[in-house]
Amino acid sequence: MNGRPELLTLLAGVGAVLVLASVIGAILARRYPGDNPVVANLNARIKAWWGMVVALGLAFLAGRTGVVLLFALLSFAALREFLTLTRKSRADHWSLALAFFVVLPVQYWLVWSDWYGLFSIFIPVYAFLLMPIVSALRGETGHFLLRVAETQWALMICIFCVSHVPALLYLQIPGFEGRNVLLIAFLVVVVQGSDVLQYVWGKLFGRHKIAPSLSPSKTREGFLGGVASAVLLGAALSWMTPFGPLYTACFALVIALLGFAGGLVMSAIKRDRGIKDWGHLIPGHGGFIDRLDSVVFSAPIFFHLTRYFWSTA
């Protein structure tokens, strides 16, 4: 992999940031002994980030197959979290089995085999038409539209959108051969960096709520400061991309805005279901969808913009 030196440099930089965060967390834990919920949550988040960075780093270093498998597993976990909150009946059991054991593996096989023509339409065309037919054949009409729509939305969010992340590996960009893994790293760093920076700016200067009914912690000041900082971060990481500093900053802006919008949409779904987090498997972060909510909205747009303007196939 030609991009391995740059990837190792990035991982070393992220590792250094996490080491610093771990030291700060340990100092705060000593300074505020006892059951301080803020400090405890901070240290839980830092430990979870260590695990996530190690998992991503190992997948990146393993190559294309490792990355595709990692995101397929993430899609499986996210789909499980999503569908546990939807209305289902016995008539939907076959549809759910198809979602987990046919649609998901086929979608990621299409990514792995680089079959873009079918990968881009398999779920929004074929799966969206097949799933309602399977449910309808069972003959149960109660809440039929709601049940079908929720399943289709789960497929779109948890499989179709997420699968665009490993699909970045297969773009053919002149002069960037063998370095596509850096595009995934760039996307993840900018999206997650924007989330963290919005949180920091909001805590320091946040005064005005931007969407209090959806996410009470998000403020206008945090949003503006976080997005602006993410744009600067993206421009600083232009060495990871084939775009150049100006275009990289523009991509970072698009990624940050879509990541913020994705967070709001997924928060609206959680509020509708009366829950705080999608799950509890990641300490301090909630569930897998809580970590993927920003990525799922930004990944498809980032993929298609890159493919349209820079890829030759």
How far, rounded to the nearest angstrom, does the alpha carbon of residue 3 sit from its chain's CA centroid?
A: 22
The residue behind tokens 């197959």 is 65
pTM of the model: 0.87
pLDDT, tens digit (0-9, with 9 covering 90-100), for 24-62: 878 877 877 666 676 776 777 777 778 778 888 888 788
- Tokens standing for 279? 């799950």
Residue 183 has pLDDT above 60, yes or no: yes
Q: Is the pLDDT of residue 276 over 80?
A: no
**Partner residues linked to 286 by β-bridges:** 282
Torsion angle defined by CA atoms of residues 306, 235, 163 and 61, in that order, rounded to the nearest 10 degrees = 110
- Predicted local distance difference test score (pLDDT) of residue 187: 93
Q: What is the reported pLDDT for 269?
A: 84
Contacts 24+ apart (CB under 8 A), 277-282: 278/78, 278/81, 278/82, 278/85, 279/81, 281/77, 282/48, 282/51, 282/52
pLDDT at 278: 67
Domain residue spans of the chain: 1-62, 75-155, 171-313
Residue 282 binned pLDDT confidence (cut-offs 50, 70, 90): low
- In whole angstroms, what separates CA 290 from the centre of its chain? 8
User: What is the separation of C-alpha 107 from the centre of its chain, rounded to a whole number of angstroms?
Assistant: 17
Given a cut of 80, whether residue 303 has pLDDT beyond it is yes
Residue 96: helix, strand or coil by DSSP? helix
| CA-closest candidate to residue 191, choices 299, 78, 67 | 299
Q: Give pLDDT, residue 263.
A: 85
pLDDT at 285 over 60: no
Supply φ then ψ for residue 286, to 5 degrees.
95, -130
Using a 10 angstrom Cβ sphere, with 0-12 exposed, 13-18 middle and 19 or more buried, the burial of residue 144 is middle
Q: What is the spatial distance between Cα 259 and Cα 262, in angstroms, rounded to a whole number? A: 5
Tokens 């960037």 belong to: 176
Give me the pLDDT at residue 11, please: 79
Closest CA to 52 of 298, 297, 284, 294: 284
pLDDT of residue 281: 62
Flag whether pLDDT at 177 surpasses 60: yes
User: Bridge-partner residues for 209, per DSSP?
Assistant: 219
What's the pLDDT score for residue 3?
64
